[in-house]
Structure formats: C-alpha cells, structure tokens
Amino acid sequence: METVTKPTNCPPLILASTSPRRKELLQGLGLDFQVMAPGVDEEGFQIQALPPQEQAVFLSKEKAMAIAKSHPDHLVIASDTVVFCNGSVLGKPKDTEDAFQMLSQLQGNHHIVYSGITLAYQNQLVSDFLGTTVWMKPLTSEEIHRYIQTQEPMDKAGAYAIQGYGSLLIEKIDGCYFNVMGMSTYLLNKLLNQWGVSFF
C-alpha cells in the first residue's frame, strides 16, 4: 500500500470481530478502527434450517447489533463466514480428527464460502453477502495429516486458510478472494458507498 488514504465522511469505526484476518484486511486499506469482541454465542441460535448465506447474514447482524447498541455514533463493521460443502455448513474444527473429516470432504471437491457483512450506524443497519466457489485439489490422507500438523486448520471455518499453506491446496476460485479470507473488501466498499463513505 503506497499511500494511506483515509476514507472521507467516515464516522469512527469499530470492527466487531476478533478475527486476525479481518483486522489485517482493514489495516491493509489504511483504516483507523477499534476492535471489539461482539460476544455473540454463535451456537446459541436455531438457524440451521436457514440457507447458508442467510446464516452468514444473520450472524453478521447479531454481531453488529451487539456492539452498536452501546456505540450508536460509531460505524460498526461485522462479518460472518460460513463454509458450505455437500449440503452442510462446516464450522471451525473441534479437534484434529474433526479437521481431518472436514478436509476429507473438501479435497477433490468444490465448496462455497459465504461471507455476510453488516454495517450499523445510528440505529440503521445495512447487510449483504457474497458467495465464492472454491476448488480444492485431491489430497491423500497423509497429505491431510501433514497439513493439519502445520496447525493452520485449527481455528479456521472449514479447516483451511486460503491465505496460508492452504493456498497450495486451492486450484481455483470463482468469486471474491477476500470473501474466502473472511470479509470481501469489495462488498464492504459497496456498502460504505451507500452511506456516502468512500476510500479514494
């Protein structure tokens, strides 16, 4: 990033997420922002019957509202990412065996990553989502075990990181790359533009 250009007409920002990937994406755009943990129990909602993209939007709204209620004059940015494969949503692996099961499903197959974004400001909300299709190359059981040994899969939805060693496993994507990383900067910009905020 050669020049840091602050967005114009922008209220103070809060990122309602403790994800290091989302923090890194916003920092890469030269933004000043606070990070706050929304403290939302994602397992506590009965949303399994919703389509995966609606689950991602629902959870991004819950995260945004959790912070916005006490910070109405900040612009709150929240995001939620869901990995959808063979008709099921894959969360973060509970242990290495769970990571192995997830990667066994994903290898030699395609899946869809949905990220929902919600912005909250002065009691208004705006939300949207994108879906990105991802193709992972075929992996042997031994290759999956070696990837798990890097520790990279353990805190990631779907048990891989497209920006890390996982990049060696992903043949191609169709959609927005940053959506797979955890938040599409393209979609974030589009939503900010609706509120008159622009980066350059």
In 3D, which of 130, 79, 92, 83 has the Cα closest to residue 110? Answer: 83
33 interacts with its own copies by CB under 8 A: no
Residues in 133-152 at the binding interface with its own copies, rule: CB under 8 A: 137, 146-147, 149-152
Contact between 2 and its own copies by CB under 8 A: the answer reads yes
Binding residue for its own copies, selected from 68, 77, 159, 176, defined by CB under 8 A:
176
Q: Helix 96-106 to helix 141-149 angle, to the nearest 10 degrees?
A: 130
155 is catalytic: no
Residue 34 found at the interface with its own copies (CB under 8 A): no
Would you say 68 or 169 has its CB closer to its own copies? Answer: 169
The string of DSSP codes covering 49-117 is: TS-HHHHHHHHHHHHHHHHHTT-TTSEEEEEEEEEEETTEEE---SSHHHHHHHHHHHTTEEEEEEEEE
* 96 binding its own copies? (CB under 8 A): no
Closest CA to 108 of 72, 78, 136, 83: 136
The tokens for 103 are 């990667």
Q: Is 164 in the site for its own copies (CB under 8 A)?
A: yes
CB of 87 to its own copies, least distance (A): 24
Give the interface with its own copies as residue ranges (CB under 8 A): 1-3, 5, 28-29, 132, 137, 146-147, 149-152, 162-165, 167-178, 185-186, 189, 199-200
Residues designated catalytic:
80
